[in-house]
């Protein structure tokens, strides 16, 4: 913390380094100082609290989450995303918290955490504060932390009912940046959706929270009509640009397809189970 303050805004926190180090090599970033947090003990945890909220420490690696039985049983959206982040070797170093702070519009975890109404706990010289992930990420590679603050954990709040959801991503090959990614989370009591969130990866200058689409799902069951309408609203919320990964209209279409596919998949797997 003192080192970050000494850096006076020119210092960067180094956790997994799987995005930051390549960016430094490519001269996209040139911090004066790196503060390596890897030797700080006891930050590698992920756990569920008595209230059902899931807490992920700043040094919890993607690979830990990929192998987590806790996520597999309690947080389907996170469990679906973990094996799709980067590649297996990068997942041994990279961290969820680092990914959130890095605020890459093509980062997977920010969309997932946005869909869960996730929070981060930032520690600074003036104490701790909690920031919604929606407010943490506010532009391409820009977060709203003060220069002497560091995120110590991310939190997925307790679900308001039975949690369901998923994450789908199109990438040209394993480890490439997402062409499009969609995170969907719905909590339900019986058939009724009590809370919903949809986060979009790679289709804007920042992670997008498709609030209108999510809100439409709340208060009723997941019907085919509701799913189709939510998928259309999610596509509407996307702000994709045409680039070498695809045209804007193609990416917008994918948002609709992925949203619909995740939600339809939930219903189908429940029907099969019944």
Partner 1 sequence: MTSLFQEVSPGAAEETPTRQITVTVNGESRTAVVEPRLVLAHLLRNGLNMTGTHTGCDTSNCGACTVLFDGKPVKSCTMFAVQADGHDVMTVEGLAGPSELHAIQEGFKEEHGLQCGFCTPGMMMASKALLEENPNPTEDEIRWALSGNLCRCTGYQNIVKAVMWAAQKLEDEG
* Least distance in angstroms from the C-beta of 175 to partner 1: 6
Query: With respect to partner 1, which residue has the nearer C-beta, 14 or 146?
Result: 14
Torsion angle of C-alpha atoms 197, 209, 255, 206, degrees rounded to 10:
-150
The residues that touch partner 1, with contacts defined as CB under 8 A, are 17-18, 21-22, 25-26, 34, 36, 38, 63, 86-90, 92-93, 174-175
Q: What letters, b where the CB count within 10 A reaches 16 and e where it falls short, cover 100-112?
A: bbbbbbbbbbbbb
d(CA 65, CA 88): 12
Considering the complex, state which of residue 36 and residue 191 has its C-beta at the smaller distance from partner 1. 36
Q: Which is nearer to partner 1, 36 or 49 (CB)?
A: 36
Q: Decide: 48 and 56 in contact? Cβ < 8 Å.
A: no
- Smaller CB distance to partner 1: residue 1 or 174? 174
**Chain Cα centroid distance, residue 108:** 5
| Least distance to partner 1, CB of residue 169, Å | 14
Could you tell me if residue 143 is left (phi over 0), alpha (psi between -120 and 50 degrees) or otherwise beta? Answer: beta
Give the Cα separation of 255 and 240 in Å (integer).
Answer: 10
Cβ 174 to partner 1 shortest distance, Å: 4
How far apart CA 113 and CA 91 sit, in angstroms, is: 18
Q: How far is the CB of 119 from partner 1 (least distance, A)?
A: 29
Least separation, in Å, of the C-beta of 172 and partner 1?
A: 12
Nearer to partner 1, 14 or 132 (CB): 14
Closest to partner 1 by CB, 17 or 159: 17
Q: How many CB atoms lie within 10 A of CB 181?
A: 28
Q: How near is the Cβ of 145 to partner 1 at its closest, in Å?
A: 23
């Amino acid at each position: 913390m003192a080192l970050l303050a000494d850096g006076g805004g020119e210092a960067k926190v180094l956790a997994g380094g799987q995005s930051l180090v390549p960016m430094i090599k490519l001269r996209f970033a040139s911090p004066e100082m790196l503060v390596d947090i890897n030797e700080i003990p006891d930050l590698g945890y992920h756990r569920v609290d008595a209230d059902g909220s899931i807490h992920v420490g700043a040094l919890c690696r993607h690979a830990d989450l990929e192998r987590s039985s806790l996520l597999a049983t309690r947080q389907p959206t996170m469990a679906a995303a973990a094996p799709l982040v980067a590649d297996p070797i990068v997942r041994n170093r990279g961290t969820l918290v680092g990914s959130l702070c890095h605020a890459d519009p093509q980062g997977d975890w920010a969309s997932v955490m946005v869909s869960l109404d996730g929070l981060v706990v930032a520690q600074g010289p003036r104490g701790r504060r909690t920031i919604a992930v929606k407010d943490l990420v506010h532009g391409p590679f820009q977060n709203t932390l003060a220069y002497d603050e560091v995120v110590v954990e991310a939190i997925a709040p307790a679900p308001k009912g039975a949690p369901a959801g998923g994450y789908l991503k199109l990438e040209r090959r394993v480890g490439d940046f997402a062409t499009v990614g969609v995170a969907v989370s719905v909590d339900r009591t019986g058939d009724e959706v009590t809370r919903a969130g949809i986060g979009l990866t790679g289709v804007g200058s920042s992670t997008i929270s498709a609030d209108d689409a999510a809100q439409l799902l709340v208060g009723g069951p997941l019907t085919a009509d509701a799913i189709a309408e939510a998928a259309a609203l999610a596509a509407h919320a996307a702000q994709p640009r045409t680039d070498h990964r695809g045209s804007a209209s193609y990416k917008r279409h994918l948002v609709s397809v992925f949203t619909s596919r995740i939600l339809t998949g939930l219903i189908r797997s429940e029907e099969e189970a019944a």
